[in-house]
Structure 1
Amino acid sequence: MGVTAPVISEILQRAADGGRITPDEALLLYTEAPFHALGEAADTVRRRRYPDNIVTYIIDRNINYTNVCVTACKFCAFYRAPKHAEGWTHGTEEILRRCAEAVDLGATQVMLQGGHHPDYGVEYYEELFSAVRDNYPGLVIHSIGPSEVLHMAKVSGTSIEEAITRIKAAGLASIAGAGAEMLPDRPRKAIAPLKESGARWLEVMTVAHRLGISSTATMMMGTGETNAERIEHLRLIRDVQDKAVANGYSVEADLAGTVGGFRSFIPWTYQPENNHLKGRTQATSLEYLRLVAVARLFFDNIPHLQSSWLTTGKDVGQVSLHLGVDDLGSIMLEENVISSAGARHRSRLTELIEIIRGADRIPAQRDTQYRHLKVHWTEADDPTDDRVQSHFSSIAIPGGGTGRSLPLTPAPVNS
């Protein structure tokens, strides 16, 4: 690396010490920094933030209310166009039945997701969220994303502010980072030309944060974006979080989680099956792991970093725990969107615990706001319920699996 080695070392040290790095410096680290030095710096940040050595997980269920969508993203294998023979919509009774199963298995969160149905405005979501809240008040509704907010506001003829205010009153507690994919204009237009711009996605998140709803931020790697565009995606998110922190909406400003801001960053990799892109995943495991480490160094204002074992595999997920990651995400009792594009990595809760322990970390079940519900300080504290496994894909069943109970098939132990 010649003359760049001292420069890289200085940037790594500054970031490890908690200093801010620029996008150009982040790009240099992503493309040139020695892997082990990059990982060591990122893990230094994690240890400073979380000296208890705890890695968290959550139990939840992703429930899709419809697969009908007018957006037609090229990377999506889940959606069906309006009037398509394979399109379906679940009624409230079916959604509540699935919530009941999730609660029985220890879930504390539900993610309600669906396509941009041409008929679903704010009123539909008010009815859906209030039904879940009223029947299962202990189940946190971490759902939809900015794309759905913009769509429902358009259908109902309301502002973003009114739409968010109304669905928050109906029970929405947190907005998912869904729909971010790639925020820079060029790659976003290439893969989702009918979807809102990255700027609009960020605008919705900014409004949500101002209105007291915290959220997650995501990134999909591997659809032809450049390294510079990956770092630009990070910059756009950090800039929005800076606004939240400056205005007192930071998650870290209120441990009760009642204010807005991004709680975590979750990068994942494009899955190439059954969609119009039809390409091989262009983000290798090494590229993914390097991005994870750079994200921990770059996001000095976002508390948590989650890796996506669902898309990259459990082995990569475990390695990521040495690169700044403090959360392994969820045992998703049901997941359809990424699964339909080819993601087949599954896990039991007991196996996820083993992965965390194998990385010399202490597992802990968390809630939506990252508060610890159960810390498994010793192996004697570990859960033993083998029923808690991910993930059942209901769209493999005609009509979206209406009336079918969890689980249909056991998840392989060594998948």
Structure 2
Amino acid sequence: MSDSAAFKAEIEAKLAAGERLTFEDGVGLYEIDDLAWLGRLAHQVRIDKNGDRTMFNVNRHLNLTNVCSASCSYCSFQRKPGEADAYTMRVEQAVALAEQMKDDAPTELHIVNGLHPTLPWRYYPRVLSALKETLPQVNLKAFTATEIQWFEKISGLGLDRILDELIESGLASLTGGGAEIFDWEIRQHIVDHDCHWEEWSGIHRAAHNKGLRTPATMLYGHIEDPKHRVDHVLRLRELQDETGGFSVFIPLRYQHDFHDSQDGKIRNRLQPRTTMASPAESLRVFAVSRLLLDNFDHVKCFWVMHGLDVAQLAQSFGADDLDGSVVEYKITHDADNYGTPDKMSREDLLELIRDAGFQPVERNTHYEIMREYDPPESLAERRARPQSVQF
């Protein structure tokens, strides 16, 4: 038996026995040259946990400001004070945008911002309260751990006080951003702020202890190696063992090829050192993550960063959630020319999921089921037809 065949047999035996995979197993899964086999294993885990259902929600994104004190090397969203397209919304402007969202009947508003150097701390709970008053039925999923740490810095308040005030103002969940890659070997080259693994995990631990369930993310496809990805997800797995507070894991594909239509300035300083993960590599990330994260209920494919073809295929490589309707996700759309649409309607998402051979299920931020839709007429027939994808 070849080394590859022996490794595959060992992994299959571990999964059949319910045995947890190790760091070495994870690295080996990235090295194995059999994507179909890997997808088949991950798909079985996905089916065991969630059946043929693929979740989505009707959500909107709102970025209150793109002004940021940090200059992370991969980020083309951030602007410095005084730049032509730098902006900061007044509370009244954010409310006016929320008013325009009512007709779409979203269940979630996703809010992520730059680390603004002069906005006062009180602005943030005030804007949450105003948005919640405008959209009382909408869950406010807001702020990365990096932003929470920034709020501690600019307010002088402790973490517990910050979280309590935000929850009182309507916060339903943190976002999972700011995680990027936790290993310092890579992290020191990609981020320009002080929120690292110890701080990121401590903030999410505190949020979980207050009853919030939060997402977790990983930015992949830049200068990291597979071992850094495995280390990243195993840290999350260990924290999930402790708190049980993560609702979903979201691999985020680093965006390399882009133009900034506003000023033509290239802000991504990693660009000379990177390309971008191929669709095949993205599917591998989903599959390996699904196999390693045995204590996570859900794995999400954020279609904006992966493209619609990969989003369909990812559902057969471990992913059981496609995020939502989104609308104007500036952090990615300011960074790429990849061609994903600004918005997917509920009907678009239903078609995307059914066309891949899965049953659409609409959820809210807390992964509570809002509505189950009819599945495709024949899952077996749909899966028998090849799907095209640009590799």
What TM-score, normalized to structure 1? 0.84
1:331 corresponds to? 325
Query: Is the contact between residue 57 and residue 329 of structure 1 (CA under 8 Å) also seen in structure 2?
Result: yes
1:162 aligns with 2:156: no
2:228 corresponds to? 229
Partner deviation per Cα, 1:263-292 (whole Å, 9 max, x = no partner): 000102111224222245332211111110
> What is the SS of the residue equivalent to 1:302?
coil
1:84 aligns with 2:83: yes
1:276 corresponds to? 269
**How far apart, CA to CA, are the structure 1 residues paired with 2:110 and 2:103?**
16
Query: Residues 228-377 of structure 1: matches in 2 within 5 Å?
Result: 228-244=227-243, 250=244, 261-272=245-256, 273=258, 274=266, 275-279=268-272, 280-342=274-336, 343-346=338-341, 348-349=344-345, 350-377=347-374
Quote how far apart the aligned CAs of 1:379 are. 6.8
Quote how far apart the aligned CAs of 1:178 are. 1.1
Question: Which amino acid is the alignment partner of residue 267 of structure 1?
Answer: P
Query: Is the contact between residue 38 and residue 287 of structure 2 (CA under 8 Å) also seen in structure 1?
Result: yes
Question: Which amino acid is the alignment partner of residue 220 of structure 1?
Answer: L
Query: Residues 133-212 of structure 1: matches in 2 within 5 Å?
Result: 133-212=132-211
1:19 corresponds to? 19
Question: Which amino acid is the alignment partner of residue 27 of structure 1?
Answer: V
Query: Is the contact between residue 355 and residue 376 of structure 2 (CA under 8 Å) also seen in structure 1?
Result: no
> What is the SS of the residue equivalent to 2:112?
strand
**How far apart, CA to CA, are the structure 1 residues paired with 2:310 and 2:233?**
21
**How far apart, CA to CA, are the structure 1 residues paired with 2:194 and 2:42?**
33
1:73 aligns with 2:72: yes
Query: Is the contact between residue 175 and residue 215 of structure 2 (CA under 8 Å) also seen in structure 1?
Result: yes
Query: Is the contact between residue 270 and residue 281 of structure 1 (CA under 8 Å) also seen in structure 2?
Result: no
**How far apart, CA to CA, are the structure 2 residues paired with 1:229 and 1:2?**
27
Deviates more, 1:355-364 or 1:341-350: 341-350
CA RMSD for the aligned pairs? 1.8
> What is the SS of the residue equivalent to 2:64?
strand
Question: Which amino acid is the alignment partner of residue 344 of structure 2?
Answer: R
Partner deviation per Cα, 1:342-370 (whole Å, 9 max, x = no partner): 04312533332222112211112111111
The gaps in structure 2 that reach 5 residues or longer are 259-265, 378-391
Question: Which amino acid is the alignment partner of residue 339 of structure 1?
Answer: H
**How far apart, CA to CA, are the structure 1 residues paired with 2:205 and 2:229?**
21
Quote how far apart the aligned CAs of 1:114 are. 1.1
> What is the SS of the residue equivalent to 1:66?
coil
The gaps in structure 1 that reach 5 residues or longer are 245-249, 251-260, 381-415
Question: Which amino acid is the alignment partner of residue 271 of structure 2?
Answer: K
Quote how far apart the aligned CAs of 1:33 are. 5.6
**How far apart, CA to CA, are the structure 2 residues paired with 1:339 and 1:87?**
15
1:64 corresponds to? 63
Query: Is the contact between residue 109 and residue 368 of structure 1 (CA under 8 Å) also seen in structure 2?
Result: yes
**How far apart, CA to CA, are the structure 2 residues paired with 1:17 and 1:167?**
43
Query: Is the contact between residue 143 and residue 176 of structure 1 (CA under 8 Å) also seen in structure 2?
Result: yes
Q: Number of matched residues? A: 364
Query: Is the contact between residue 121 and residue 154 of structure 1 (CA under 8 Å) also seen in structure 2?
Result: no
Query: Is the contact between residue 265 and residue 302 of structure 1 (CA under 8 Å) also seen in structure 2?
Result: yes
1:93 corresponds to? 92
> What is the SS of the residue equivalent to 2:94?
helix
Quote how far apart the aligned CAs of 1:16 are. 5.4
Question: Which amino acid is the alignment partner of residue 340 of structure 2?
Answer: H
2:384 corresponds to? none
Deviates more, 1:235-244 or 1:147-156: 235-244
Q: Tell me: CA distance 1:33–1:238, structure 2 relative to 1, closer, same or farther (3 Å).
A: farther
Deviates more, 1:42-51 or 1:9-18: 9-18
Quote how far apart the aligned CAs of 1:17 are. 5.4
Question: Which amino acid is the alignment partner of residue 12 of structure 1?
Answer: E
Query: Is the contact between residue 61 and residue 332 of structure 1 (CA under 8 Å) also seen in structure 2?
Result: yes
**How far apart, CA to CA, are the structure 1 residues paired with 2:38 and 2:27?**
12
Quote how far apart the aligned CAs of 1:65 are. 0.8
Partner deviation per Cα, 1:35-80 (whole Å, 9 max, x = no partner): 12211111111111123x2111111111111111001111111111
Partner deviation per Cα, 1:207-256 (whole Å, 9 max, x = no partner): 11112111101111122111111111111111111110xxxxx3xxxxxx
